[in-house]
């Protein structure tokens, strides 16, 4: 296969202001896994930057703070029930951007590969591990 693969799946890419982070492993762990190893570090950084821009276009800094508390602090987040509900809905939108932005940058789903391409890519990733 001619395409270069990037096997550092645990490397974390951080958006400006640290509001959003992603790793290749996040995409591999999806219910329908995506092939994040095909995106370079530069593409992954641009991807998290795009997610950040998309979310900041939709939400205020205060609302993004609610989302951060919702993600990081679990049940002990200090949010009101209304803020908690809003943050939950924001989390759904964040996931939508997580996936649609990845597709925009060319990330593919494993399930979309033909059998031969799937086997070849799996073999390359196992060989390199």
- pLDDT average, residue stretch 11-38: 93
Assess if residue 34 is contained within a domain: yes
Number of domains in the chain: 1
Give residue 87's pLDDT: 92
Does the pLDDT at position 65 exceed 70? yes
Write down the mean pLDDT value for the chain: 90
Assess if residue 9 is contained within a domain: no
The domain of 123 spans 14-128
- Burial zone of 68 (CB within 10 Å; 0-12 exposed, 13-18 middle, 19+ buried): middle
Assess if residue 85 is contained within a domain: yes
Give residue 2's pLDDT: 52
Assess if residue 3 is contained within a domain: no
pLDDT tens profile 80-114: 999 999 999 999 999 999 999 999 999 999 999 99
Assess if residue 43 is contained within a domain: yes
Q: What is the pTM of this model?
A: 0.87
pLDDT tens profile 43-61: 999 999 999 999 999 999 9
Assess if residue 1 is contained within a domain: no
Cα 13 from Cα 48, distance rounded (Å): 7
């Amino acid at each position: 296969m001619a395409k270069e693969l990037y096997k550092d799946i645990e490397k974390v890419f951080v958006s400006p202001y640290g509001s959003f982070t992603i790793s290749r492993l996040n995409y591999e762990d999806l219910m329908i896994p995506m092939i994040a190893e095909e995106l370079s570090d530069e593409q992954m950084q641009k991807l998290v930057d795009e997610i950040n821009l998309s979310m900041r276009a939709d939400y205020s800094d205060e609302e993004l703070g609610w989302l951060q508390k919702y993600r990081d602090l679990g049940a002990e987040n200090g949010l009101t029930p209304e803020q908690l509900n809003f943050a939950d809905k924001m989390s759904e939108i964040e996931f939508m951007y997580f996936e649609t932005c990845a597709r925009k940058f060319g990330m593919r789903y494993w399930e979309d590969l033909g059998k031969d391409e799937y086997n070849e890519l799996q073999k390359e990733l196992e060989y390199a591990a």
